[in-house]
Amino acid sequence: MNQYHLGFIDSKIENQYQLQQQSNSRSAVFKLMSFGLIVTYLIRVIFSLIEKIDFLFYYKLAMLIYCIIQFIVVQWQPQLTRIAFIITNICMMGLVLEQENSPEIQNMKGANMMTVNIMLVLSGEFFDSVIQLIVITTLRITLPYITTDTQNYMILTSTILANLSFLFYAYTYHKAKRSQYLLGLVENDWDKIFFELVKDPYILLKFSYSNLSFTVQKQNRFPFKDCLNFDEEISQCDQDDRTIRYFLQNATMGKTSLSEYIYGSIKKFQMDCYEHFNQILRVRFQRQLLQVEMSIFQAKNPMILLRINSISKHSQRQLKKYKKRFILYNNIFINILTKLEQQMKYNLMIKEIRRRLMLVQLIEELHDHKYQFNTVNIQFVISQLENLYPDKNIRFQNTNKMETLFTIPNALMMLLLSVLENSEQDLIECNLINLKEEMEVMIEFNGNFQASKILKIYQNTKYHVRLLVSSLYISSKLVQFILFSEPLCSSNIDIYTYEYDDLLSSDH
């Protein structure tokens, strides 16, 4: 901001400031001024016509017409408002020449003119104020020389000093307004920076002692925006406010709601007279356990910041550690069951548990990118399936026409096990068809299948399945997928956490 004319150095900020001033105050001041002056000059013109007073009649008529035209033009071109203030304020000085009948009325008219002068001087910019005060002061000094023969130099000196003081006040006033605007811009910029820096969801609340309630000041990335359904049409701001209030009332810490706990913390915070109060909370909401960092800041009304943490780096490391242990234990169980199976060849329960764990292992390998492209022997794959499913009558057709297949072995095995593991009858027909025109291989299963479970497995591994499958069809009677002649390559595959509840359930 320039220290002399107070204009912003950045033209973009200056334009934004002018637009804000025009919409916030100048437009209303201009309409009020125009209405008042039009009424004033209209009454004076009518009074002059009735009393047949010719003194300043044409000046009053000209000002009446000018105010009407000016109002129309400025409504069409709002950017001319500042110029309209300057011209109107200067032209009004013609009324000084008109003397009233009594000193009281004359003083009242002078006070009214001074009020309008001050309003117009402060409604523009500082540069406009300088122009208006210089011209108005000059007219106030020169008009007495024109109308009277004697001069009062004490009054003239005080007039100059008063207007210089008012000019200093106008400078301070406009500087304060512009500084406040800059402060608002800085605050908005900090909001944007805070929004970008703080990736975790947060809620900023303000507590009112008068009605013992919380008001939502700000919120960012609140994770439970869809926990309420709104039938009536309300604004997004009101929806967010109601949703956050619902969260505060229904999120619990033991048997205490989050809002009650915050209120109790505020009372303790006041008794201890701390400037700030920090605490980490374990909160339950909609069957989820959340870690909420609560901070209370002292003010006229306490401000409460709730930061809902996402999974931290420490938690991610813990999850990776648990996952490694899970895979290790899963492999140990598979090895144990393999040895038990060799000793108890006809125990179908052991075989069933082993192949389910194998399916889990295959899915985890895909999620961990533990796969490679290789050539598999079709007859070897068939013998593996027959060994895993002695309890099912699997009829393989057209297998002699195809010896090898270039694919992703563990992904292919996962596809086959997911179908066979979710079949509901002993007889299953598997047909291999070599599509010579498309250079692809179609594998077709006929039987009774739990289509929803197969589909769930494929949906959770679709970013891996798409590397080797060009098309897929799943129904309760038919499962059909077509394999690429060569699997696709992908260096960036999204990883999703798979839930094994349905997979490991025994209701087949």
Tens digit of pLDDT for each residue in 199-231? Answer: 668 888 888 777 777 888 777 777 777 766 666
Has residue 253 been placed in a domain? yes
- 504 to 115, 382, 446, 460: CA distances (angstroms): 85, 24, 23, 15
Q: What is the pLDDT of residue 504?
A: 40
Alpha carbon distance 336, 339 (integer Å): 5
Q: Which domain holds residue 155?
A: 11-192
Segments of 93-199 assigned E as strands = none
For the CA atoms of the chain, what is the radius of gyration? 42
Contact call for residues 373 and 349 (beta carbons, < 8 A): no
Residues 160 and 304 in one domain: no
Residues 131 and 16 in one domain: yes
Residues 25-58 pLDDT 10s: 888 888 888 888 889 889 888 888 887 777 778 8
Let me know if 151 is exposed, middle or buried by CB neighbors in 10 A (0-12, 13-18, 19+): exposed
Q: How many CB atoms lie within 10 A of CB 104?
A: 9
What's the whole-number mean pLDDT along residues 392-414?
83
Say if residue 198's pLDDT is above 70: no
- 366 to 45, 166, 182, 277, 412: CA distances (angstroms): 92, 79, 55, 47, 11
Has residue 275 been placed in a domain? yes
Contact call for residues 86 and 124 (beta carbons, < 8 A): yes
Has residue 6 been placed in a domain? no
Residues 105 and 238 in one domain: no
Alpha carbon distance 264, 241 (integer Å): 22
Say if residue 79's pLDDT is above 80: yes
Number of domains within the chain: 3
Residues 418-441 pLDDT 10s: 888 888 877 888 888 887 666 788
Has residue 294 been placed in a domain? yes
The 3-state secondary structure of 188-240 reads: HHHHHHHHHHCCCCEEEEEEECCCCEEEEEEEECCCCCCCCCCCCCCCHHHHH
Say if residue 152's pLDDT is above 80: no
Residues 468-485 pLDDT 10s: 888 888 898 999 888 887
Q: What is the pLDDT of residue 272?
A: 65
Strand partners, 283: 290
Residue 456: CATH number of its domain: 3.30.565
Has residue 390 been placed in a domain? yes
Q: What angle do CA 217, 220, 223 make, to 5 degrees?
A: 120
Residues 452 and 330 in one domain: yes
Alpha carbon distance 472, 462 (integer Å): 11
Alpha carbon distance 215, 259 (integer Å): 12
- Closest by CA position to 373, among listed 402, 407, 396: 407
Has residue 27 been placed in a domain? yes
Residues 152 and 250 in one domain: no
Alpha carbon distance 180, 211 (integer Å): 31
Contact call for residues 470 and 482 (beta carbons, < 8 A): yes
Average pLDDT of the residues of the chain: 76
Position 403, amino acid? E
Alpha carbon distance 281, 289 (integer Å): 10
Name the DSSP class of 485.
S
Percent of all residues in the chain with a pLDDT value above 90, rounded to a whole number: 1
Pick the last residue of a domain from 170, 192, 214. Answer: 192
Contact call for residues 279 and 262 (beta carbons, < 8 A): no
Pick the last residue of a domain from 133, 165, 192. Answer: 192
Alpha carbon distance 508, 506 (integer Å): 6
Residues 103 and 215 in one domain: no
Residues 136 and 275 in one domain: no
Residues 289 and 330 in one domain: no
Residues 108-125 pLDDT 10s: 877 888 888 888 888 878
- Closest by CA position to 292, among listed 302, 301, 277, 305: 305
Has residue 197 been placed in a domain? no
**Residue at token pair 């709104």:** 230
Say if residue 373's pLDDT is above 60: yes
Alpha carbon distance 206, 241 (integer Å): 12
Alpha carbon distance 333, 504 (integer Å): 14
Has residue 1 been placed in a domain? no
Contact call for residues 395 and 429 (beta carbons, < 8 A): yes
- Split at pLDDT 50, 70, 90, the class of 68 is very high
Residues 45 and 179 in one domain: yes
Residues 479-504 pLDDT 10s: 988 888 777 654 433 333 344 444 44
Residues 236 and 176 in one domain: no
Residues 141 and 242 in one domain: no
Alpha carbon distance 350, 388 (integer Å): 10
Q: What is the pLDDT of residue 314?
A: 46
Pick the last residue of a domain from 260, 281, 310. Answer: 310
Exposure of 95 in the CB half-sphere (CA atoms within 13 A): 26
Query: Phi, psi (5° rounding) for residue 358?
Result: -65, -40
Name the DSSP class of 95.
G
Q: What is the pLDDT of residue 191?
A: 59
Residues 261-307 pLDDT 10s: 888 888 777 776 555 567 888 888 876 777 888 888 766 677 888 88
Strand partners, 429: 395, 446
Residues sharing a CB contact under 8 Å with residue 484, sequence separation 6 or more, in sequence order: 407, 440, 468, 469, 470
Q: What angle do CA 194, 199, 200 make, to 5 degrees?
A: 110
Strand partners, 306: 203, 294
Residues 491 and 363 in one domain: yes
Contact call for residues 422 and 454 (beta carbons, < 8 A): yes
Strand partners, 279: 294
Residues sharing a CB contact under 8 Å with residue 410, sequence separation 6 or more, in sequence order: 362, 365, 366, 370, 371
**Would you state the structure tokens that stand for residue 364, as one six-digit string?**
């985890």
